[in-house]
Structure formats: structure tokens, C-alpha cells
A and B are shown apart, each in its own frame.
Chain A
């Protein structure tokens, strides 16, 4: 039976007993929340460090300056960890734990079967049964017993091993980022040394190319690139003409020795367009594409032809022995076919192929009419034997893939050539139908056979001679045989006890008397 309680006094008693514990629980709560925030921050810092390393790697590979330095990355990582910790600390300090939380955490630390929390909850309800009252008293007694003696225990202790592992990962990522920057600096230094050794006339394009971009951030990238190529044009014209230093000039647009030949070739191409085309080149390729003029298209094509010739020269081995002639750190390099194939896949070749398409279209228009282009060719019908595929769109006229032939007359006559054979329909005639017919047995009429003793053989057991009887003796032989058989028949009749059937002569007589 539920009865009202002195809820206020009981709750006040609980609170007075829990007041000392509340501060400890609050401090522990602050520690716990700060620890969780630190764990989350370290976890996020791992990802941030990995992202920084990725950015630096990308910048290194693309030849761009690094977006974030190592120092800035370290500061960022520190912020990623410290800001959540600070926020958690401030918020935890501001939020004091409720009496219920204090009681629950005290129970959890003491292993008291929730006695304190149960007592506090039942006391706060205002009404309790006998068991409820007993539980409240039990909770107060338990609280008096444990409030000073039992230290507060953390729910989940800090996993220092995991934290240390994450810190190690962050350190490794930072070191890797720093190494990426160092490696890039070394590569640039080596590249610079190679150019200096190639001749005093050559300048370091990498460093010089970066600085104008930094000075003119508002200018479009393409214009900047064009300006850079224009600026280098006068410098690169000399090594283009001088064959021995061509190898050292080839990687000028890139960072490595042999990886970016295409850029170098583009630079050469721009340089070979001549002085009269310098102004148009400076305006950028965009204008050239948007407003194709007859006066501009021809020199561009000539420059491409020259470029192709130069590529053919390079591929034919004319460039053997090219490279550094000044004894620099870069050795002479002969580019093989594979390297040339890699360089041919560059962006500039794509642009060149686009320009070729535009040129062909322009030529078609100049020939007063659209002519069929070779690029519009479609795949010829397949003549291979095979299983039929999807049918092409009907009424498309010539061209277009057609389904492979199913069979060929000649091939079907030659043994050993597999010809697909298709038979529509089912393989068998269908299910077998079995009809059972019930037939009543009917008796057949017949005479009963007469039984008789087996007669022994009469006569000599010798082969019958088939000696031909002459006609004049035939009558004599016939009479003799009749007489002989008649004598045998009489003897048989005398020895047989059974009478012959009625009305019938003996077989012998019938045979003897036809």
C-alpha cells in the first residue's frame, strides 16, 4: 500500500549527504569530458595531418607551391586538439551535475546496487510502498557508509595506448609532410644546378616562372602561362637551334629531367612560330579558337608541322647524345619510344588534336561545302562468325555496327568449322503418352491332339542314295518300293494295338494310293 512521504525532508537528507560528493563528481565529470574532447581532437588531428600530407604531395607532384607549410600545419593540428578541449572544459565547468547523476555515479563507483539512486528517486516521488520506504532507508544507510570511504571511479579509464598510437601517427604524418617539402626543395636545387651547368645562356625557368605568377595574381592562368612561354621564348630559341643542349632544355618546363618533354616541345613550337606571330600568341589560345581567321590558321598549322618534324627527328635518334654538355648533375638522356609515348599523352596533344579537327572543318567550309570527314567513319560490318548480338537501329543506311553473321554458306560446307546452328522449338516431341487398354482373354477353338507311342525307326540307318534311276527302270523300281512298303505297313498294323481312327485310311495307304 502506497503512503505519502516526507519528501522534502528525505530529499534534503540525501542532498546534505551527497553535497560533499557532488564536487568530486563534478570534477570527475570535467575530467571525463575534457578527456573525451581530447580523444576526439586527436582523432580529428590524425585526419587533418593526413590531409596536410596529401595536399603537400599533390602540390609536389603538380609542381605548385605548397598550400600549407609544416609550421602552419602544426599550428592547425594544435588548434584541432586544443579548441574542442577548451570548449569542453568551459561547458563542463558551467554544468553542475544533478543530484540524481551524483547518486548514480556514486553507486556506479561503489558497486552498491543503485541503492543511493534508488533511495533518492523514491524519496523524490513523494509516495512509497513499504518496500519503497525500506529502499529509501537502505539508500540513506548505504550513502552514509560509502560517501567518504569509496573514491569516485572513472567509468571508462583513459586508453593511453590508443592516444599514444594516434600521437605517433600524427608525428609520422608531420615528418612525412616535412620530408615532402625537403625532397621538393632538393629536386628544385638539382634542377637549378643542371640548368646552370648547361650554359650561362640558360636560365632557371622554374623559379622565374613562379615569381611572375605571384606578382600578378589577378591575371588568368592561361594568360600567365602564355606570357611565361613568351618570356622564355627568346631564351629557348638558342638551345633549339643548338642540338647538343637540346636534351637539357627539354625538361625545362617540368621539374624532372625527362618527364615533361611535351611542355618543352610546346615551348619550342611557340618559339618557332616566328616573330610576326608573337603578338597573336601573347593574346592567348582562347582568342585563337573563338575567332579562327584564315591568316592565323595557316601559321599555326605550319608550326604544328614543324613540331611534328622535330618530334620525328627526336624519334629517329637524331637526339642521341643530347643533354648536359657542361658536366652538370644531369646526365645525357636518350628518350626511348616508351617515354615518347608517355609524353604524347599530354594535354597539349589533346589540344593539338582539337585544333586539327577545327582545321579540317575550316577546310571543308572553304571548299564550299561540308565534305565527309574521315572521323565520321563508322565501324565496318563484322564478318566474323558468331552468335547473333543485338540488332542495330533499322533504317540507318550504311555504316553502323551490324550483327555478326550467323553462318556462311562456304563455311557450313567445310567440316571442322563450327557453325552456330539455331533450331527454334522444343527438342523433344513432348511428353510420352501411355495408354493402357484392358482386354478380356477369349478361348480359341481347337481339336485335342491324340496321343500315341513313338514308333521306332524302321530301316537301315544309312544315307539315302540319290542315284538317278533311268526311265526304263523307273517302273520296276516303283513296283519294288511299293511292295517293300506294303510289306512294312502290314507288319506295323499287326504290331499296333490301337485301331486307326474311324472312316479314315491309314497314312500309308493314302500315301500309297493317291
Chain B
């Protein structure tokens, strides 16, 4: 073996300290969430990664799997202004973003004043988001992307940190409205909530049917979340990994030179550049959690499924053949080489 570099440390002290601090906060939040939410380690890690990479998350799963519970638990573990919007078919955009109301002045007379809606908060739980009409769903577009809302002639910035966790049920089609592509694209990841493992059922029953119900304490603040987001953005990305992520996103676009045959056959609309941004941000969090200081191609591959699956718009033939977007993302991942050209 060659000589080891003992004289100098393996990594920079500041960077290592920041990475360590990041992992501590991450693990602390994860433990607190797991007090209530049993199992689904990867799901919880992905949700926390979205929280720390300044994105929004869409949870999809059949009823009863704890989507809303996960969102409420995470909100409870953070000292943030929490707001829950129960999306219903008669919900209007003004019910989400707020509206101008007529108020009496103290000295007499009336004035128009802005009454903010529930979206003006740090942590938004958009429950059953696909039950609202596309008009109401579109009210979230500006809030999710621009972090601001516009009512009448007034634009109001939203508080930081701002995260939207939306849930939807994939099986109920009656009375639901699929999310528009523009809305879907604004979610950093789409996570599928699956049934828990057999061993998890025991914990679920013990924690939910006994007399001592678990309580969640706030273990982090908004400022800490913001500082964690800065650390995430400090992680390095080399040209090789950046090119790999770009090729991977282009591989989901039919007609692209990187797209495999399965994509060209089944996809009508591929991922947008937001997909590449999502790959980078989620990859950075994953690199930090792995004790590394730069994103690797393996990190990009690991986050490709949650980041890209909801950005693929299948054509009619693929929908008729019941092609799953996850299979197409896997095909894209397997077709792209990480070696530089």
C-alpha cells in the first residue's frame, strides 16, 4: 500500500463540520417523525430531503397509509407556521390565497383590506389536492414556484421556509381532477406511499390503539432549516455528474438522441429542466447524508425515480398498455452512461 496522508486531514474541517451538523439535524427530524409514523424509512428520508433542499413533495397512496399523518407529524416536529388546506370541489382560489375584504375603519368609513388565505404559512398541507378543480389547484402555482401570491394589485411574499406537502389518492377517479402538468412539475418529488411491512403493523397497532399515544416535539426551527438549505447548495457538482444528469433528463424526452426506444414509444412529454434541478438538489442531500462533499452519478441515479416519475406524460398507447412511468425512468437510467464523452 502507498503512504497515507497523515499530515493533513482527509477533508476540510469546516466542510466536515457542516456536513456533520446537517446529518445531525436530519437524523433528529427523522427520529421525531418516526415516533408517530412507523416504517417507510426511505419515504421519510425523501420527505426530509425535499424539506432541506427547498422543494415541495407530492405524496400519493391509497387511503389509510398515513400520508396526512406524515405531513402533520413533520409539521409538528418543526417550529413552523402550519396550515392545512382540505381541498374540496367547491374550494375557490380566493379560499387558498386570500381575498380583499371590506373593513370598517376606526375613525369611521370603510377600507379594503387583504385577508391572507391559508397558503400564507411555512408548512402547507394540501390534503387531497386532486379533489379541487384545476382552477383552484392553479392558485398554488405562483406560491409554489415564486414563493409569493398576487391578489388584485398586491403581491405578497410568502414566509421562509415554505414547503407544500400535498397528498392525493390514486384510485378514486370520481369527483377528482388530475393535477395539471404545470402543477405537477412544481413538485420536486412524487413519493408513492406503499403498504407497511408486516413488522411495522405491530408498532402501528401498539402506538395507535393503546392509552399512551406518542407526542411529537418540535426539534428544529425555520432558521435551522434555512441554514441546512444553504449547506445543501454548497455541495459540489462536477461537469461529469452534471452532464450525466442532463443526459438522464434528456433521455426522458422522446426524440432526444439519448432517449431509449421505450421512451420514444411511450412518452408524449418528457421531463423539463426542473427535473435536472431536482436531480441536483436531491443528489446533494444524498451526498451529504453519505458523508461526501460532491454529488456522484450514483446519487443522481438513486433520486431519479422520485424526481422524474411525475414529469413523464405518457401517450395514449402507453396508458392503454398500462405502462408505468417508473419502468420508463429505469429504462432511461439504464441507457445513459456516466462516462464522459
Contact = CB atoms under 8 A, between A and B. Distances in A.
A135 B235 CA distance: 9
B293 A132 contact: yes
A104 B14 contact: no
A140 B8 CA distance: 12
Nearest to A112: B296
Contacts of A263: none
B339 interface: yes
B340 A100 contact: yes
B236 interface: yes
Contacts of A108: 338-339
A348 B196 CA distance: 83
A133 B296 CA distance: 16
Contact of A148 (B2, B240, B299): B2
Q: At the interface, is chain B mostly helix, strand, loop or mixed?
A: loop
B180 interface: no
Max count, chain A CB within 10 A of own CB: residue among B5, B18, B235, B236:
B236
A138 interface: yes
Contacts of B290: 113
B236 A115 contact: no
A132 B237 CA distance: 9
Interface in B3-27: 3-5, 8-12, 14-16, 18
A101 B240 CA distance: 10
Given A104-B339, A108-B338, A134-B16, A121 B11 contact: no
Contacts of B8: 137
A343 interface: no
A131 B339 contact: no
Contacts of A115: 292, 294, 296
Contacts, number: 99
B1 interface: yes
A129 B10 CA distance: 15
Interface in B299-341: 299, 337-340
Interface string A120-150: 0110000011111111011011001001100
Interface string A91-132: 000000000110011001001011101100110000011111
Max count, chain A CB within 10 A of own CB: residue among B11, B235, B241:
B11
Given A137-B9, A138-B11, A131 B293 contact: yes
Contact of B339 (A101, A134, A135, A138): A101
B238 A130 contact: no
B240 A114 contact: yes
Nearest to A121: B238
A132 B293 CA distance: 7
Nearest to B244: A114
Nearest to B9: A137
Contacts of A129: 234, 236
Interface string B250-289: 0000000000000000000000000000000000000100
Contacts of A148: 1-2
B224 interface: no
User: What's the interface size class on B, roughly?
Assistant: 20 to 34
Nearest to A132: B236
A134 B15 CA distance: 7
B297 interface: yes
Contact of B296 (A105, A118, A141): A118
A113 B241 CA distance: 10
A132 to B, nearest CB: 5
A118 B4 CA distance: 20
B47 to A, nearest CB: 23
A113 B5 contact: no
Contact of A122 (B9, B234, B236, B340): B236
B234 A121 contact: no
A133 B293 CA distance: 9
B203 interface: no
B293 A135 contact: yes
Contact of B240 (A104, A111, A128): A104
Contacts of A155: 337, 339
A118 B294 contact: yes
A3 to B, nearest CB: 10
B58 to A, nearest CB: 28
Contacts of B106: none
A361 B187 CA distance: 85
Nearest to A133: B12
A137 B9 CA distance: 8
B238 A118 contact: yes
A254 B14 CA distance: 93
Interface string A165-186: 0000000000000000000000
B298 interface: yes
Contacts of B18: 130
B68 to A, nearest CB: 36
Contacts of B299: 113
A155 B334 CA distance: 13
Contact of A135 (B2, B14, B292): B292
18 contacts: A104-B240, A104-B338, A113-B298, A114-B241, A115-B296, A117-B238, A118-B238, A121-B239, A131-B236, A132-B236, A132-B293, A132-B294, A133-B11, A134-B15, A137-B11, A144-B2, A148-B1, A155-B339
Given A117-B240, A148-B2, 18 more contacts: A100-B340, A101-B340, A104-B339, A108-B338, A115-B294, A121-B240, A122-B294, A130-B14, A130-B18, A131-B234, A134-B11, A134-B12, A135-B293, A135-B294, A137-B10, A138-B294, A148-B1, A155-B339
